[in-house]
Structure 1
Amino acid sequence: MRLSFRAVLVTAAVSCATALTACGSGDAGGGSDELSIVASTNVWGSIAQAVAGDRAQVQSLITEPSADPHSYEASPRDAAAISDATLVVYNGGGYDHFVDDILDATGRDVPTVDAFALFESGEYSDLHAGHDHGDTTAETTPADGTDSGDRSHDGHSHDGHDHSGINEHVWYDLATADAVAHAVADHLAELDPDGADTYRDNAAAFHAQLHTVADTVESLARTHPGAPIAQTESIAHYLVVGAGLDDRTPSDFTDAVENGTDPSPASIAATRRLLLDGQVDALLYNPQTEDRVSLEMRRSAESTGIPVVEVFETLPEGVDYIQWQTRTAEALSAALDTAP
């Protein structure tokens, strides 16, 4: 029923988008040959902007810090932006499903960079030194992130996810962010050969900045090896893995949250007991999907003096991707420093 309703919404959005496109939205702010990059969220938009510089316009569809991308419903204007884009950059893996829905519904051959596809391709950079993601049963995709035509990720599995399923929150995986930046640079270099050196230089600079974030994470791993933590949702899974922390959250709890279902009373009780008994040093908390259960976990942690570290799915206002990832890693490190 949910899929059918979603299909109706997408069809309506695409129909309206066709009308918007025909009339011209006037949002491009430039000539018809201007490069237009559309990103599903401002996380990927920030990375695209770092590479594009001032040679392309970047539009992020989801920007509100309070937004929940899992349940986002695209508007006709969003559909028009995606179908008219020179390049679309998105998370993939079913996370921002509305992008796949619009691309499939329009049938337009829009170049894309799918972060999750890059993650599963196994093309990791030196930012993964000492970090084993394990094997993947998924088919690989081209290193440039070009869509292979099959946007379904059903049945994929990845050994890097400790909770019996795919963890699609790959923006916390630094090598994937690096791969996205280079894929964007390659696409833009093809579309705008005059700017090819600029795009690739910008991607190289972004890579260097990512190393500073990786250094912060590695420092955290050295100072707090195997520190026990809990999460209300496995948003920052790849940060936790990269820092070598021990996520003690019951898998039944995080699996239910990830699947959009209510955790069982037993898993709620077990997670609460972790916090009330002080068995973990920090709680990672996603305010964007706050509900009665997650708020109860936060209050349990605060009642016993366990630090709460907020992790987000979109960029807070006024920061770019590098600043955001650095601040999150530093906040986690500070929380573990002050753990009871």
Structure 2
Amino acid sequence: MRRPPVLLALLSASGLVLAGCGGDSDAASSDGGTTVVTSTNVYASLVEAVAGDAVDVIPIIDDAAQDPHEYEATARDQLELSRADVIVMNGGGYDSFMTTMLEAIDEEPDVIDAVAASDLPGAEEAAANGHDHDHAHDHEEEPDDDSGDHADGAHGGDAHDEEGHDHAHDHGSFNEHVWYSVPTMIAVVDEIESHLAETTPDSAEALTANADEVRGQLTELDDRISDLAASHDGENAAVTEPVALRLFDDLGLTNVVPDQFVSAVEMGSEVSPIAVQEATEALDDDVRVFAYNTQTSGPAAEELRGQADGLGIPVVEVTETMPEGTDYVTWMTETVDAVEQAIA
């Protein structure tokens, strides 16, 4: 594949620097061992849980304050990716910086795509489209001001208005935040085990044992989510943008915030006065929990959170990436704990 000119220039200009100041990650990439590069620390956590010490894991984004929607890859990132034996990414257009870097690699690396691995409605099309579009930077139109539809179509990408307008993403209406879908992460664990068993066959037995343990933990969490859904199905929830919607959908919760509000906040664009008014009014509809993404916010989202606080609606803070010092199972379990406490 043709390498993007800017990326070629970056690699050429920084070649000596990279050779001279390579840290632990550079050493890990060149010591002959197996290296796995992931788009975020979410997927790095799953790889580490399955592989243990059998591989070296390098997340491109390992900062809880970094919004992957806005991330721009560096020459060092490209170098790490080019050295990887296995690559794990979210896909669906979410981590489009990974797609850009993959297009700059001559050979076809071994890639695990979480969206492609899922059984979610619309995932197959989203996985294909994700390789053709950036996440949220190429929108040609702002959402219509008169839409009042709700962004409750996280599963299966149903977030569109009555005239058929897609949820405002360049890659379609599919909600690509699939790491908030525990069944999807179980499928990703399966993929990690399978791919690494081929790459590190001497560790196959340990990989299976570790994967079984993680699958058991995630299955237990998924069963708990199903039990909560049986008790709270159809209850109302609210979000500022779509990151938590897959979990809310699995919990049987219905988002009442208009799609126009949710889409605008996610894209970092101005929220229309009508959408703000409708979102504010929606909070009066017996909302049990309010999810606030601390990594994708803005004046309108902050104001809506203030409204939720004023109404006594429990607020659960969610993030795109994991906080430091935790792992995926613990992080997602704590998120479910917080939601359960709120809706109880």
So what's the TM-score if we normalise by structure 1? 0.83
Alpha-carbon spacing, 1:288–1:45, altered in 2? closer, same or farther (3 Å): same
The 8 Å contact of residues 233 and 257 in structure 1, kept in 2 or not, is answered as yes
Task: State the identity %.
Answer: 37
The 8 Å contact of residues 232 and 284 in structure 1, kept in 2 or not, is answered as yes
1:163 counterpart SS class: coil
Cα shift readout 1:246-282 (whole Å, capped 9, x = no counterpart): 111112212333444322211111101222x353121
Give the letter aligned to residue 218 of structure 2: L
Deviation of 1:46 after TM superposition, in Å, equals 0.3
Counterpart residue number, 2:73: 74
Deviation of 1:57 after TM superposition, in Å, equals 0.9
2:132 counterpart SS class: coil
Deviation of 1:290 after TM superposition, in Å, equals 2.0
1:298 counterpart SS class: helix
Q: Find the aligned partners of 1:330 and 1:140 in 2 and give their Cα distance.
A: 31
Deviation of 1:51 after TM superposition, in Å, equals 0.9
Q: Which moved more, 1:254-263 or 1:241-250?
A: 254-263
Deviation of 1:214 after TM superposition, in Å, equals 0.8
Counterpart residue number, 2:24: 27
**2:108 paired with 1:138:** no
Q: Number of paired residues?
A: 309
Deviation of 1:67 after TM superposition, in Å, equals 1.2
Deviation of 1:68 after TM superposition, in Å, equals 0.6
Counterpart residue number, 1:102: 101
Give the letter aligned to residue 138 of structure 1: E
Alpha-carbon spacing, 1:139–1:290, altered in 2? closer, same or farther (3 Å): closer
Q: Find the aligned partners of 2:299 and 2:287 in 1 and give their Cα distance.
A: 21
2:125 counterpart SS class: coil
Q: Find the aligned partners of 1:10 and 1:260 in 2 and give their Cα distance.
A: 26
Counterpart residue number, 1:254: 262
Alpha-carbon spacing, 1:281–1:256, altered in 2? closer, same or farther (3 Å): same
Q: Which moved more, 1:288-297 or 1:29-38?
A: 29-38
Counterpart residue number, 2:137: none
The 8 Å contact of residues 155 and 175 in structure 2, kept in 1 or not, is answered as no
Counterpart residue number, 2:59: 60
Q: Find the aligned partners of 1:59 and 1:115 in 2 and give their Cα distance.
A: 17
Alpha-carbon spacing, 1:36–1:272, altered in 2? closer, same or farther (3 Å): same
Q: Find the aligned partners of 2:74 and 2:123 in 1 and give their Cα distance.
A: 35
Structure 2, unpaired ranges of 5+: 135-152, 161-172
Give the letter aligned to residue 185 of structure 1: E
Deviation of 1:140 after TM superposition, in Å, equals 8.1
The 8 Å contact of residues 20 and 80 in structure 1, kept in 2 or not, is answered as no
Give the letter aligned to residue 301 of structure 2: S
**2:309 paired with 1:295:** no
- Aligned alpha-carbon RMSD (Å): 2.6
Alignment of structure 1 residues 205-284 onto 2, 5 Å: 205-275=213-283, 277=284, 279-284=286-291
Deviation of 1:319 after TM superposition, in Å, equals 1.4
1:37 counterpart SS class: strand
**2:190 paired with 1:186:** no
Alpha-carbon spacing, 1:234–1:135, altered in 2? closer, same or farther (3 Å): closer
Cα shift readout 1:190-237 (whole Å, capped 9, x = no counterpart): 111111121122222111110121122123212322110110011011
Counterpart residue number, 1:321: 328
1:116 counterpart SS class: helix
Alpha-carbon spacing, 1:136–1:177, altered in 2? closer, same or farther (3 Å): closer
Q: Find the aligned partners of 1:26 and 1:59 in 2 and give their Cα distance.
A: 12
Q: Find the aligned partners of 2:96 and 2:238 in 1 and give their Cα distance.
A: 28
So what's the TM-score if we normalise by structure 2? 0.82
Give the letter aligned to residue 342 of structure 2: A
Counterpart residue number, 1:4: none
The 8 Å contact of residues 229 and 282 in structure 1, kept in 2 or not, is answered as yes
Alignment of structure 1 residues 38-187 onto 2, 5 Å: 38-119=37-118, 122=119, 133-134=120-121, 138=125, 151-152=131-132, 160-164=156-160, 165-187=173-195
Counterpart residue number, 2:148: none
2:24 counterpart SS class: coil
Give the letter aligned to residue 248 of structure 2: V
Deviation of 1:45 after TM superposition, in Å, equals 0.5
Alpha-carbon spacing, 1:98–1:18, altered in 2? closer, same or farther (3 Å): farther
